[in-house]
Structure 1
């Protein structure tokens, strides 16, 4: 009788382990497109990502580069002070989007041009995403909002 209980217990543990491994694999597979890595313009110029890789780019919108095209298409350059990456976006930009302001975009790099699916702009005069601040500090062009 004891050996039957022991076998049953081992079977339950084995089935639970297989179910745990399968569920972990399914969760990882489902999240593969939801993980977007952040790149600064300098990193993109140094090591361009694959054209199929979805990632985030952040920096400042270069002054004088904002060009509104036909319809909702917008072209501009993003810089971190060390490199410049051209960006195209079709859609409605956030109200606070303007030149010399911080932005973060999500999309892909195609033929050296970042095709953005989503654009985010800073929401007040003191906020800029941490990744953008770090990239600007690395290039030596970041100035804190209080002027320091």
Structure 2
């Protein structure tokens, strides 16, 4: 009688373990496209990602680089002080998007141009995304707000 209870317990534990492994695998599979890694322009130029890879890029919009094309297409260059990456975006830009201001874009790097599907801009004069600040500090370009 005791061996039957022990056998049943082992079967339940084994079944629960298998269910846990399968559910973890399914969650990982479902999230594979939902994770966007952040890269600075220097990282993109050093190791260009595959055209199918979706990631985030951030930095400062270079002065004099904004070119408005046909319709809602805009081209500009984003930099972290060490490297610059051309960006192409079709859509409505945020109101606070401007030259020498921080931005983060989501998209992919195709044929030497970052094709953005989304552009985010800072929301006030002092805010800049942490990833962008870290990338600019790494390049020695970042200045704290209020510094000259």
Give the structure-1-normalised TM-score.
Answer: 0.97
Provide the C-alpha distance between the structure 2 equivalents of 1:14 and 1:40, rounded to a whole number of angstroms: 45
Greater shift, 137-146 or 105-114, is seen at 137-146
What's the CA shift for 1:64?
Answer: 0.6
Runs of at least 4 residues of structure 1 off by over 2 A? none
Give the CA deviation at 1:6: 1.1
| Structure 2 gap segments, 5+ residues each | none
Q: Deviations over 1:101-144 (max 9, x none)?
A: 00000110000100001110000111101111111111111111
Structure 2 distance, partners of 1:121, 1:76, is 14
Q: Partners in 2 of 1:141 and 1:11 — Cα distance? A: 60
* Per-residue deviation, residues 66-106 of structure 1 (Å, max 9, x unmatched): 11111111100000111110000111111111111000001
1:20 Cα deviation after fit: 0.3
**How far is 1:52 from its partner?**
1.1
What does residue 84 of structure 1 align with?
A: 84
RMSD of aligned alpha carbons? 0.9
SS at match of 2:34: coil
Q: Residue 147 of structure 2: SS of its match in structure 1?
A: coil
User: What TM-score do you get using the length of structure 2 for normalisation?
Assistant: 0.97
C-alpha distance in 1 between matches for 2:3 and 2:141: 72
The whole-number CA distance in structure 2 between the counterparts of 1:25 and 1:70 is: 45
Q: Please say if 1:32 is aligned against 2:32.
A: yes
Q: CA deviation at 1:46?
A: 0.9
Q: Distance in 2 between matches of 1:12 and 1:135?
A: 50
| Alpha-carbon distance in 1 for matches of 2:63, 2:141 | 14
Shift of 1:34: 1.2
